[in-house]
Amino acid sequence: MVRLTDLPEYEREHLLSKNQPPLGPPVWTPPGKAISELRIALITTAGLHFRDNPSFEFADSTFRPISDDEDANNLVMSHSSVNFDKTGFTQDVNLVFPIDRFRELEAQQKIGSLAAVHYSFMGAGLDPHAYEKSASQVASLLKQDKVDAVFLTPV
């Protein structure tokens, strides 16, 4: 693991600027239904999108919808971190967006259903407050889709 002192000054300052106070104790909300009845959406910060959607920019707090009925193997990654190795993603999209595993769980009736739309953000570079507007929009869309739970893959 690299030490902060080994990084160039601009990278060190960038990382230190993300130092945030603790969020506080986690809030646990017991599910109102069994897992086998939950409608689940996937959210990733891997910067995924389909080729015909706009790429993520470096300082981009927007999101891209990923329709459940589209082939996830057609997703591309425009994650801009030079520290991120995309090799695993190029071999199996499920490493950052485990849609096939969740489709298997749905087919086995281990979960209730999958959301009609899942979402991708580009997680590098920004202060968490920059995502508030987009996160609020996605939360509203998830409510409209009657999603009960989200599986987050932070990249």
User: Which whole number is the average pLDDT over 2-24?
Assistant: 82
> Confidence class of residue 114 from pLDDT cuts 50, 70 and 90?
very high
Tell me if 3 is assigned to some domain.
Answer: no
pLDDT confidence of residue 81: 66
Tell me if 58 is assigned to some domain.
Answer: yes
pLDDT confidence of residue 63: 97
Tell me if 16 is assigned to some domain.
Answer: no
> What is the value of pTM for the model shown?
0.85
Tell me if 143 is assigned to some domain.
Answer: yes
For residue 112, what are the contacts with CB-CB under 8 A and spacing of at least 6?
A: 33, 36, 37, 38, 39, 40, 106, 148
Q: Most confidently modeled of 56-60, 70-74, 77-81?
A: 70-74
Q: Which of residues 78 and 82 earns the better pLDDT score? A: 78
Tell me if 29 is assigned to some domain.
Answer: no
Domain range for 60: 38-153
Tell me if 134 is assigned to some domain.
Answer: yes
Count of structural domains, the chain: 1
User: Which whole number is the average pLDDT over 86-108?
Assistant: 92
Tell me if 68 is assigned to some domain.
Answer: yes
Tell me if 64 is assigned to some domain.
Answer: yes
**CA separation (Å) from 151 to 14, 29, 42, 96, 102?**
28, 15, 5, 11, 10
